[in-house]
Amino acid sequence: MADLRELYQQVILDHNRAPRNFKELPDANRTASGDNPLCGDRITLWVKVSGDRIEDLGFQGSGCAISQASASLMTTVVKGKTVEEAERLFQHFHGMVTGVEEGNRDNLGKLFAFAGVKEFPARVKCANLPWHTLHAALLQQDRPASTE
């Protein structure tokens, strides 16, 4: 149960129940889709980039609590950041959930809520999917992102 509370933190359950920025963005100039066909998680992400700054973003999708809360939290965190800052967050986040680096609140802020994911190897791909999708959108990749 302790491990479960570690994984399903209140902030994650809250974002799953009421995802933020859950909308299509009509004036987006970047978009990408991500899906993990084996488990069925999918998200579509719309991003409005001005210069080197992420001005706004929205997402829609369906899947497990981890994937949807990760997408929701991500949108709230990267809004207003530069592309470079977002990519750096992605690196730290990825490092934390895969257990490669010790995450910390200083560089991850609210995203630190996902620290428990590293204890659940099967769920790492759920947490990472929105970030890979953002990465694909920022690079304007043609093919859908996937973490499977």
Partner 1 sequence: MTGTVERTVTGVRTAFDAERVRADFPLLGRSMRGKALVYLDNAATSQKPRHVIDAIHRYYETLNANVHRGVYQLSEEATAAYEWGRAMIARYLHAPSPAEVVFVRGTTEGINLVANSLGRQRVGPGDEVLISAMEHHSNIVPWQLLCEEKGARLRVLPMNDRGELLVEELPAFLSPRTRLVSVVHVSNSLGTINPVKEIVAQAHARGIPVLLDGAQAVPHGPVDVQDLDCDFYAVSGHKMFGPTGVGALFGKRALLEAMPPWQGGGEMIRSVTFEKTLFAPLPMKFEAGTPNIEGAVGLGAAVDFLHQLDWRAVAVHEADLLAYATERIQSVAGLRLVGTAARKAPVVSFVMDGVHPHDIGTILDQEGIAIRTGHHCTQPVMDFFGVPATARASFALYNTRDDVDALVTALRQVRKVFA
- Chain positions contacting partner 1, by CB under 8 A: 1, 3-5, 7-8, 13, 17, 38-41, 62-66, 120, 122-123, 126
Closer CB to partner 1, 3 or 84, in the complex: 3
Answer whether 65's CB lies under 8 Å from 16's CB.
yes
Residue 34 · residue 46 · CB < 8 Å:
no
State in angstroms the smallest separation of the CB of 18 from partner 1.
Answer: 12
Q: Which is nearer to partner 1, 65 or 77 (CB)?
A: 65
- SS3 for 20-62, per residue? CCCCCCCCCCEEEEEEECCCCEEEEEEEEEECCEEEEEEEEEE
CB closer to partner 1 out of 57 and 66: 66
Angle at which helices 83-97 and 65-78 pack, to 10 degrees?
150
CB of 121 to partner 1, least distance (A): 11
- Shortest approach of partner 1 to residue 4 CB, angstroms? 5
Residue 110 and residue 76 in contact, taking contact as beta carbons nearer than 8 Å: yes
Rg of the chain over all Cα atoms, to the nearest angstrom? 14
Q: Give me the least distance between CB of 44 and partner 1, in Å please.
A: 15
Judged by beta carbon, residue 22 or residue 56, the one nearer partner 1 is: 22
